[in-house]
Amino acid sequence: MIFQFIFVLASLCPGLLAATSSTPTPPSQDPWYTAPVGRYQPTWAVTTVLVPELGLNSTAQSAFNQSALLSYYIPYDSSSLDSSPSYTLYGTQYAQQLDAALALGLFVSVPDYEGPLAAFTAGVNSGHASIDSIRAVLSLGLGMNTNSARVAHWGYSGGALAAEWASELMVQYAPELSETIVGAALGGLTPNVSSVYGTVSGGTFAGLVPSSLLGLTAQYPEAREHLTSQLKDSGPYNSTGFLAALKMSVDEAGVAFAGHYIGEYFQNGFATFQSPIIRNIINRDGMMGYHGVPQIPIFSYVVIQDEVSDVADTDALVDRYCQVGANILHERNSIGSHLEEAYNSASAALNWLTAVLSGSYAAKYNSVGCTIRNVTRNGTISGV
The answer on 320 and 173 residing in a single domain is yes
The answer on 223 and 140 residing in a single domain is no
pLDDT at 24: 32
Distances in Å between the alpha carbon of 249 and those of 76, 185, 246, 297? 8, 25, 9, 32
Each residue of 28-40: pLDDT tens digit? 344 555 555 555 6
Each residue of 18-76: pLDDT tens digit? 445 444 333 334 455 555 555 566 778 889 999 999 999 999 999 999 999 999 999 99
pLDDT at 356: 99
Q: Is 157 noted as a catalytic residue in this protein?
A: yes
Q: Which positions ≥6 away from 259 have C-beta within 8 Å?
A: 202, 203, 204, 206
The answer on 304 and 269 residing in a single domain is no
Each residue of 241-251: pLDDT tens digit? 999 999 999 99
338, 345, 347, 358: the active-site residue: 338
Each residue of 236-277: pLDDT tens digit? 999 999 999 999 999 999 999 999 999 999 999 999 999 999
The answer on 118 and 100 residing in a single domain is yes
Task: Say if 52 falls within a structural domain.
Answer: yes
The answer on 138 and 53 residing in a single domain is yes
What CATH number is associated with residue 265? 1.10.260.130
pLDDT at 8: 57
The answer on 83 and 117 residing in a single domain is yes
The answer on 186 and 304 residing in a single domain is yes
Task: Say if 102 falls within a structural domain.
Answer: yes
The answer on 349 and 223 residing in a single domain is no
pLDDT at 25: 34
* CA separation for the pair 324, 321 (Å, rounded): 5
pLDDT at 44: 81
306, 309, 347, 358: the active-site residue: 306
Task: Say if 292 falls within a structural domain.
Answer: no
- Which amino acid does the sequence have at 287? M
Task: Say if 116 falls within a structural domain.
Answer: yes
Task: Say if 101 falls within a structural domain.
Answer: yes
Q: Is 338 noted as a catalytic residue in this protein?
A: yes
Number of domains within the chain: 2
Task: Say if 157 falls within a structural domain.
Answer: yes
157, 167, 212, 347: the active-site residue: 157
pLDDT at 90: 74
The answer on 202 and 140 residing in a single domain is no
The answer on 38 and 143 residing in a single domain is yes
The answer on 276 and 161 residing in a single domain is no
Task: Say if 111 falls within a structural domain.
Answer: yes
Choosing from 241, 260, 285, the residue where a domain stops is 285
Residues of the chain with pLDDT under 50: 1, 18-19, 21-30, 381-384
Its pTM stands at 0.92
The answer on 11 and 114 residing in a single domain is yes
What CATH number is associated with residue 95? 3.40.50.1820
333-342 per-residue burial string, b: 16 or more CB within 10 A, e: under 16: beebebbebb
* CA separation for the pair 127, 117 (Å, rounded): 15
Choosing from 252, 285, 318, the residue where a domain stops is 285
Task: Say if 200 falls within a structural domain.
Answer: yes
Distances in Å between the alpha carbon of 124 and those of 23, 89, 140? 31, 24, 25
Distances in Å between the alpha carbon of 48 and those of 5, 215, 257? 10, 22, 30
Choosing from 233, 256, 285, the residue where a domain stops is 285
Task: Give the structural domain span for 57.
Answer: 5-190+297-375
